[in-house]
Amino acid sequence: MTPFGAKLRDLRAERGISQKDMARSIGVSAAYLSALEHGRRGQPTWDKLQRIIQYFNIIWDEAEELQRLAMISDPRIVIDTGGLPPAATELANVLATRIGDMDEETARLLIRTMEAVPEKRKR
């Protein structure tokens, strides 16, 4: 499940809405909605994301959070380490091979660690 899929499922559960009813209302199949929630589909298109936001009648911060979650919810990521130091390539490969063994707590720790790394200014 992706962060976006988990949030989508939570929003439906909070409101007591079935996948079938929501899918019909936003113009997608229940199978698509299920796949989106379970991470078997990539990020929703901008149009579908806007339909979901409108369907739940959410605004401002909550809508921005849903958009942010959609942006970080691609279940199939490619990391290009070309031109980076060898340690970056090693890190990407270790993560790729070990991520399936990682528990939630360790994943959260790594996320916090990576978010603390300062961004380099683009020149």
Q: What is the reported pLDDT for 17?
A: 96
Separation CA 59–CA 72 (nearest Å): 20
Mean pLDDT of 53-59: 94
Q: Using 50, 70 and 90 to split pLDDT, how confident is the model at 122?
A: low
Q: Provide the 3-class DSSP secondary structure of residue 49.
A: helix
Full DSSP string of 54-82: HHHT--HHHHHHHHHHHHT--SS-----T
Sign of the torsion angle spanned by Cα atoms 78, 69, 108, 84: positive
Domain segments of the chain: what residues? 3-71, 86-115
Helix or strand run (H / E) with residue 40? none
Pick the CATH number of 3-71 from 2.170.150.70, 3.40.50.300, 1.10.260.40, 3.40.50.150: 1.10.260.40
Would the pTM count as exceeding 0.85? no
Separation CA 77–CA 75 (nearest Å): 6
122: DSSP letter: P
- pLDDT (tens digit, 9 = 90+) per residue, 88-111? 999 999 999 999 999 999 999 999
- pLDDT (tens digit, 9 = 90+) per residue, 64-94? 999 999 998 988 889 999 999 999 999 999 9
